[in-house]
Amino acid sequence: MRPFQVVVYGATGFCGQLVCEYLAKNYATTGLRWALAGRSEPKLISLKRSLGPGGGDTPHLVADAADTPALEALARVADVVVAAAGPYGEVGSGLVAACAATGTHLVDLAGESVWMKEMIEKHHDTASVSGAKIVHSCGFDSIPADLGTMLAHMRLRDVHNTKTKALSYYFGKFGLGGFSGMLERQQLRGDVLRPLSAVAQRRAAPSATKNTQVCRFRGQLAGLLPALLTTAAVAFSNALFYLPPTRALLQQVAPASGEGPPASIRENSFFEIYVEGHGANGAHVLATVGSDKGDAGYQETCKMLAESALALALNTTALPQRTGILTPASALGMVLVERLRAAGMVLSVETVSLPSG
């Protein structure tokens, strides 16, 4: 048995702090063995003090992202590492390598497709042999689409006895703050755009490209048909985020780097996304993933990240048995669905009738 079930690396960053607050608030009395980690011991000590009774006695580990021996030592004492330090292309590779080599599971919020491809090429085989599950994109950017795709496919297969012909992914309702975290996590991931704040139309989809890649990779792992997750409208709205006028407008309301919206906004926001599945026999299903109790970009993203780690730490025998570098659905399956439901999120799927004409 390793000393810690979960170690949060990059704990003093904004997303890392939210993950730590979530664990301290919801798992302090469960016996969970967890620790904080990062490169600055004074900041880690300060964070522990801010967590209150649920986290004040939590151990902390010091490791710099450029210190390979320190990262390997950290990985060896953890069942699961939550990688919350970014940009991942700059500071995340060493931790992935350490976890893959030591059989340690890892979850992160990565969205850098080129970097993720590099990690797959370099470390998938090693992780497969060591028994590690390296699970990228465990936040709002991909988990709703990935789990929604899985739920839609499963209903078409199990209820309607048909293959999945096509899938469509789109946004439903969003409350204030629903997109703010997208912009902060652009900095965390090191993507093209600086962090922007959130004013978006219902079907605007800054994550459309990555969702397609993540779900297609999951489809390859699971033997599913490639899923068409975007439409021309989604692609158009996605492109708007790359235009200078749009970026300038959004930057006027953006939080400063390293910051996020206050708790009053995070806690009173909401979101909902839909995945519509079309069966080869004409059946249609609709999967819904959302939350009425938190914004997508920060609060619920950190909940998804934390619960992904806890699924790996606490529900090992119930998880899909595949190892290596995986997507959330292929690594965690229905275990993550049930954990997120228990944590207050909505994940449902139903058969629907399409309007005639």
Please state, rounded to an integer, the average pLDDT across all residues of the chain.
Answer: 82
Residue 54, phi then psi, degrees to nearest 5: -75, -15
**Same domain flag for 157 and 117:** no
Q: For the CA atoms of the chain, what is the radius of gyration?
A: 19
Which position has the token pair 């209150």?
Answer: 52
pLDDT at 357: 52
Q: What is the mean pLDDT of residues 342-346?
A: 97
- Whether residue 199 is predicted with pLDDT greater than 60 in this model: the reply is no
| End-to-end CA separation in angstroms for the chain | 60
Q: What is the mean pLDDT of residues 181-200?
A: 38
**Same domain flag for 149 and 206:** yes
How far apart are the C-alpha atoms of 62 and 41, rounded to whole Å? 6
Q: Considering only 81-90, 117-126, 265-274, which range has the smallest mean pLDDT?
A: 265-274
Q: Considering only 1-15, 54-68, 125-139, 190-204, which range has the smallest mean pLDDT?
A: 190-204
Beta strands in 109-183 (DSSP E): 133-135, 164-174
For position 117, which CATH number holds?
Answer: 3.40.50.720
- Whether residue 351 is predicted with pLDDT greater than 90 in this model: the reply is yes
Q: What is the mean pLDDT of residues 219-243?
A: 42
Q: What is the mean pLDDT of residues 34-57?
A: 93
How buried is residue 192: exposed, middle or buried, by Cβ count under 10 Å (0-12/13-18/19+)?
Answer: exposed
Q: What is the pLDDT of residues 137-147, one digit of tens each?
A: 999 989 999 99
Q: Is residue 220 part of a domain?
A: yes
- Residue 106 — pLDDT band, cuts 50, 70, 90? very high
AA identity, residue 96: V
pLDDT greater at residue 263 or residue 182? 263
**Same domain flag for 100 and 155:** no
pLDDT at 172: 78
Q: Is residue 91 part of a domain?
A: yes
AA identity, residue 284: H
- Whether residue 96 is predicted with pLDDT greater than 80 in this model: the reply is yes
How far apart are the C-alpha atoms of 146 and 135, rounded to whole Å? 12
Q: What is the pLDDT of residues 132-184, one digit of tens each?
A: 999 999 999 899 999 999 999 999 999 999 999 999 988 877 775 444 444 44
Residues 6 or more apart from 355 whose CB is under 8 A from it?
none
Triad 102, 110, 203: Cα angle to 5°: 150
Q: Is residue 346 part of a domain?
A: yes
Are the beta carbons of 347 and 341 closer than 8 angstroms? Answer: yes
Cβ neighbours around 129 below 10 Å, total? 13
**Same domain flag for 19 and 155:** no
**Same domain flag for 90 and 235:** no
Which position has the token pair 């590492």?
Answer: 81
Are the beta carbons of 340 and 304 closer than 8 angstroms? Answer: yes
How far apart are the C-alpha atoms of 126 and 96, rounded to whole Å? 11
Domain total in the chain: 2
Whole domain around residue 123: which residue ranges? 4-136+306-317
How far apart are the C-alpha atoms of 2 and 239, rounded to whole Å? 46
Q: Is residue 356 part of a domain?
A: no
How far apart are the C-alpha atoms of 322 and 332, rounded to whole Å? 10
**Same domain flag for 247 and 263:** yes
What predicted TM-score, i.e. pTM, was given to this entire model?
0.81
**Same domain flag for 179 and 286:** yes
pLDDT greater at residue 176 or residue 241? 176
